[in-house]
């Protein structure tokens, strides 16, 4: 039976070349966008180099202080003291990586300007993030203690300063009007991973601020790792308890918002929640309605074309009914036909997406971005394909099963 459906599907598709082209174009284009989007979301959120343990990590990157009486607000990263004094005292965390956000600076070499992003980190940073070292290793605790001017650089930075394929270990690199000795070179990380992307990684002790300053705000963030993802709720609870006990005053601020967040939460809280609300639901709502709206037009288009396709075949449907096909059988037949078409369009979409992803990866839209189609992406695009096929096939199929045999046979084809 299926083979016969397939046969007739192919025959129909071949006959109405123009309609087939429109359908395939619509399906493959829609799926291309969906696949590229999924690949991007996957790139953004799924654990990958150099952060394979993301599912048992929480991120703290901002504190929001409010003075409710004066209607004042201030939001910034945190002080080193906050992590060193309050967070380090917590019992749940097993590792706490502390680091600054990326800070821009310049280096000059051979009358060229090189713009670099600096990140000051602690020792644990190298333990939490599993960087792949192409040369050397992380700076040591001793070097950190002694405020040695040492640096770990990314391979991209090495290429910029020393040329492709050059060795950098032990050489000096100038940035910020200071000479730093290179102790390690790492494989570059995606630009969009804000927490660990940088060109130069420096010991946090080289920060010229007063690290003992007891104010809460500063320039540091942290990635807190626990031994198992089951401990995450406990960590959140313990952290919230700690925050509630922080000193505060009516004069400067009386409300403190600071949360250890999972990766998605930390992004949505910053983008949509102004550092206060988690906003993951809001994010899903926005994303979902965008997808729905985006898919609506191609779906209606496809439904329209499918309807024309069916009405054009009303005499065939009449004959099939006359010779004993039930409405249900015909409905199945059409849905299968439509699914074949959609899957075919999906295949084309997959090929187009490969091209688009290749172009996007090659462009410097976002450095070190490597969008790829992995099984997860593939699964979701296949799912999208099926949903699309069903969505656009069901209504026309229903209309078809309602076709009156007598009128269908009367209308000449």
Partner 1 sequence: MIKHLFKLIWNKKKENFLLISEILISFLVIFAVFSSITYNYLNYREPAGFKYDDVWMADLGSPVQGENKDSVMLVFANLKNALKGMPKVRDVSLSSNNVPFSSSMMGSGVEYGHVNIQSDMYRVDKDFAKVLQMKMQSGRWFNETDRNPVYLPVVLNAAAAMALTGSANAVGKLVKMEHQTLRVIGVADNLKDKSDFKTTSPGIYTLIDTSSIRGINTMLIKVSANADARFEDQMYRLIAGTTRAHNLQVAHLSEMRTKKNKEIIVPMVILLIISGFLIFNVALGLFGVLWYNISKRRSEIGLRRALGATAAGVSGQLLGEALVLATFSLIIGSFFAVQFPLLHVYDLPAGVYMIALLLSVLFIYLLVIVCALYPGKQAAAIHPAVALHED
Partner 2 sequence: MIQLNNIEKVYRTDTIETQALNNISLHVQKGEFLSIMGPSGCGKSTLLNLMGLLDVPSKGDILIDQQVTQNMADTKMARFRNSRIGFIFQSYHLINDLQVLDNVELPLLYRKSTAKERRELATEALVKVGLGNRIKHFPTQLSGGQRQRVAIARAIVGRPQIILADEPTGNLDSAMGDEIMNILLDLNKTDGTTIVMVTHDANMAERTHRLVRLFDGSQVQ
- Judge whether 128 and 57 are in contact, CB under 8 Å: yes
Q: Are strands 200-203 and 112-121 parallel, antiparallel or unpaired?
A: parallel
Q: Is 25 a residue that touches partner 1 (CB under 8 A)?
A: yes
Q: Give the range of 43-51, 153-161, 220-228, 311-319 binding partner 2 by CB under 8 A.
A: 311-319
Query: DSSP label at 179?
Result: E
Residues 255-294: x where in contact with partner 1 by CB under 8 A, - otherwise, as a string = ---------------------------------------x
Q: Is 324 a residue that touches partner 2 (CB under 8 A)?
A: yes
d(C-alpha 375, C-alpha 38), whole Å: 11
Taking the complex as a whole, how short is the minimal distance between the CB of residue 158 and partner 1, in angstroms?
A: 20
Angle CA 268–363–115, to nearest 5: 75
Query: Which of partner 2, partner 1, none lies near 24, with the C-beta cut-off 5 to 8 A by kind?
Result: none
Q: Is 75 a residue that touches partner 2 (CB under 8 A)?
A: no
Task: Say which residue the tokens 């191609």 belong to.
Answer: 298
Query: Which residues have C-beta within 8 Å of that of residue 392, sequence separation ≥ 6?
Result: 299, 302, 303, 306, 338, 342
Query: Which of partner 2, partner 1, none lies near 244, with the C-beta cut-off 5 to 8 A by kind?
Result: none
DSSP bridge partners of 103? 118
Q: Is 325 a residue that touches partner 2 (CB under 8 A)?
A: yes
Query: Which residues have C-beta within 8 Å of that of residue 44, sequence separation ≥ 6?
Result: 192
Helices (H), 324-374: 327-362
Q: Is 318 a residue that touches partner 2 (CB under 8 A)?
A: yes
**Which three-class secondary structure state does DSSP give residue 279?**
coil
Closest to partner 2 by CB, 323 vs 363, is 323
d(C-alpha 123, C-alpha 5), whole Å: 64
Q: Is 18 a residue that touches partner 2 (CB under 8 A)?
A: no
Query: Which of partner 1, partner 2, none lies near 21, with the C-beta cut-off 5 to 8 A by kind?
Result: partner 1
Query: Which of partner 1, partner 2, none lies near 84, with the C-beta cut-off 5 to 8 A by kind?
Result: none
Q: Which two structure tokens, joined as six digits, stand for 324?
A: 């004993």
Number of residues that bind partner 1 (CB under 8 A): 39
- Judge whether 318 and 32 are in contact, CB under 8 Å: no
Q: Is 325 a residue that touches partner 1 (CB under 8 A)?
A: no
Q: Is 5 a residue that touches partner 1 (CB under 8 A)?
A: no
Closest CA to 319 of 8, 17, 20: 8
Q: Is 36 a residue that touches partner 2 (CB under 8 A)?
A: no
Q: For residues 394-413, which are near partner 2 according to CB under 8 A?
A: 405-406, 409, 412-413
d(C-alpha 73, C-alpha 91), whole Å: 31
Residues 148-187: x where in contact with partner 1 by CB under 8 A, - otherwise, as a string = ----------------------------xx----------
Number of residues that bind partner 2 (CB under 8 A): 28
Q: Which residues bind partner 1 (CB under 8 A)?
A: 18-19, 21-22, 25-26, 29, 33, 103-106, 108, 111-113, 115, 118, 176-177, 207-209, 294, 296-298, 300-305, 307-308, 311-312, 365, 412
């Amino acid at each position: 039976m299926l083979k016969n459906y397939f046969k007739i599907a192919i025959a129909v598709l071949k006959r109405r070349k123009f309609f087939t082209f429109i359908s395939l174009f619509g399906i493959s284009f829609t799926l291309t966008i969906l696949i590229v989007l999924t690949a991007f979301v996957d790139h953004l959120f799924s654990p990958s180099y150099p952060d394979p343990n993301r599912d048992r990590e929480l991120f703290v990157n901002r504190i929001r202080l409010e003075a409710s009486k004066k209607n004042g607000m201030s939001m910034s990263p945190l002080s080193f003291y906050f992590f060193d004094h309050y967070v380090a005292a917590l019992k749940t965390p097993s590792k706490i990586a502390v680091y600054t956000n990326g800070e821009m600076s310049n280096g000059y070499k051979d009358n060229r300007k090189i713009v670099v992003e600096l990140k000051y980190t602690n020792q644990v940073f190298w333990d939490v993030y599993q960087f792949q070292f192409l040369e050397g290793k992380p700076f040591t605790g001793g070097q950190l203690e002694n405020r040695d001017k040492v640096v770990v650089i990314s391979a991209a930075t090495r290429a910029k300063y020393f040329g492709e394929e050059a060795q950098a270990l032990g050489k000096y690199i100038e940035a910020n009007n200071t000479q730093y000795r290179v102790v390690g070179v790492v494989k570059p990380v995606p630009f969009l991973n804000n927490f660990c992307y940088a060109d130069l990684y420096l010991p946090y002790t080289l920060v010229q601020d007063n690290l003992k300053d007891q104010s809460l705000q500063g320039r540091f963030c942290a990635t807190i790792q626990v031994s198992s993802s089951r401990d995450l709720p406990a960590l959140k609870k313990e952290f919230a308890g700690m925050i509630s006990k922080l000193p505060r005053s009516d004069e400067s601020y009386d409300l403190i918002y600071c949360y250890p967040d999972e990766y998605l939460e930390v992004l949505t809280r910053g983008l949509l929640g102004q550092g206060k609300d988690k906003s993951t639901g809001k994010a899903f709502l926005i994303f979902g309605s965008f997808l729905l709206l985006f898919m609506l037009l191609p779906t209606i288009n496809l439904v329209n074309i499918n309807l024309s396709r069916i009405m054009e075949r009303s005499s065939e449907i009449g004959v099939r009914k006359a010779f004993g096909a039930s409405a249900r059988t015909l409905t199945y037949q059409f849905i299968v036909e439509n699914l074949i078409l959609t899957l075919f369009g999906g295949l084309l979409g997959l090929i187009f997406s490969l091209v688009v992803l290749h172009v996007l990866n090659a462009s410097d839209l976002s450095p070190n971005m490597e969008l790829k189609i992995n099984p997860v992406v593939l699964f979701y695009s296949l799912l999208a394909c099926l949903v699309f096929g069903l969505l656009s096939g069901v209504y026309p199929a229903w209309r078809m099963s309602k076709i009156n045999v007598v009128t269908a046979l009367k209308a000449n084809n």
